[in-house]
Amino acid sequence: MVRIGVDHGLCVGNAMCVATAPGVFAHNEHRQSTVVDAGGDPAARVLEAAANCPVSAIRVMDSETGRTLFPPEPGARS
């Protein structure tokens, strides 16, 4: 399982995350992305959605280890 955070100070409602992982992300009343079900799509989809965010507003963590899966740590190779 993954833990997902969306920074609403950054989110511009580009909706590419909703298009990429519709089981996980949906728009709220401000048309910003929110997580409706962190397990709604496979983790690979969630990571793809995070990478597709044009303003890097999505953070993905491993819920067991707490390790950040996206954005990649500086210098880390994925």
Task: Name the site residues for another protein (rule: CB under 8 A).
Answer: 9, 12-16, 19, 30-31, 51-56, 71-72
Q: CB within 8 A of 47, min separation 6: which ones?
A: 60, 69, 70
Give the residue from 73, 68, 74 showing the smallest Cα distance to 3. 68
Minimum distance from residue 32 beta carbon to another protein (Å): 8
**Structural tokens at position 57:** 């507003």
Of 39 and 67, the one with the shorter C-beta distance to another protein is: 67
Handedness of CA 12, 38, 56, 45 (dihedral sign): negative
Minimum distance from residue 20 beta carbon to another protein (Å): 9
Of 39 and 72, the one with the shorter C-beta distance to another protein is: 72
Minimum distance from residue 27 beta carbon to another protein (Å): 8
